[in-house]
Amino acid sequence: MEYKKDIAKKSDLSMLVDLHDRNFDDKEFSKFLGKKFIYKFYELAIDDNHTRILVVRKNNKVVAFSLVFEKYSIFLKKYQRRVLFDLVFLFLSKLAKLSIKFFIEFYKNVSSKNFLSVVDKKCYDYYVGSVVVDCNSRNDFQVTTRFLEIYKDNVELIKKSGNCCWGSCRVSNSKAIRLSNTVGLRPTHIIRSYPENIQIVMYSDKKT
């Protein structure tokens, strides 16, 4: 077996999307929107100069990754522009099917995720994003060890850039909360959200 840590490349895009789709909970908003939106998210993340995806490869296949942002607010604006027409098309297709439930769930998802209400504006751009270890590789010590290394490397990068950073996960995701604690991100707020409340974790340099 060959194991390697690396920065994600364009050629990894389909593997990142597949890992996200297979390992993220169906409650996640990205899963609600569908694979096209997930694809464009990671496509932009790979291209963006202020976003970094570190991956673990097992025999050249991506089996784990960590994603962080240094300018999250700008990334979101770029992403929203990139998926605008896809979103309009999705709305029209759901409207044609009279899928009222879709619009209700979309509104509940979007309107209940006001992270800026609890995250300081100076810290908001430094976001610890998606982390995934493939469900088929979680018992592989070589994979999990390297995943923890890339995760810590990524978090240290944005800690140094902004002197603070934050992350989020569903309140029931105890593994993600424990993982955050290993790099100094502590639970600070719980946001009332749909379909499940969200736990905010934060790190801040006390000297700033």
Residue ranges per domain, the chain? 3-162
DSSP state letter for 116 = G
Tokens 């694809």 -> residue: 39
Q: What is the pLDDT of residues 60-107, one digit of tens each?
A: 999 999 999 999 999 999 999 999 999 999 999 989 888 899 999 999
Q: What is the pLDDT of residue 98?
A: 82
Pick the CATH number of 3-162 from 1.10.3820, 2.40.70, 3.40.630, 3.30.70: 3.40.630
The residue-averaged pLDDT of 13-32 equals 94
Q: Determine contact, residues 53/133, Cβ cutoff 8 Å.
A: no
Confidence of residue 113 (pLDDT cuts 50, 70, 90): confident
Spatial separation of the C-alpha atoms in residues 9 and 47, rounded to whole Å = 9
Q: What is the pLDDT of residue 208?
A: 45
Q: What is the pLDDT of residue 3?
A: 97
Spatial separation of the C-alpha atoms in residues 117 and 104, rounded to whole Å = 23
Confidence of residue 205 (pLDDT cuts 50, 70, 90): confident
Q: What is the pLDDT of residue 112?
A: 83
Q: Determine contact, residues 94/82, Cβ cutoff 8 Å.
A: no
DSSP state letter for 179 = H
Question: Residue 206: what are its φ and ψ, rounded to 5°?
Answer: -65, -15
The residue-averaged pLDDT of 23-31 equals 91
In 3D, which of 200, 123, 111 has the Cα closest to residue 158? 123
The DSSP result for 131-150, as a single string, is EEE-TTTTT-HHHHHHHHHH
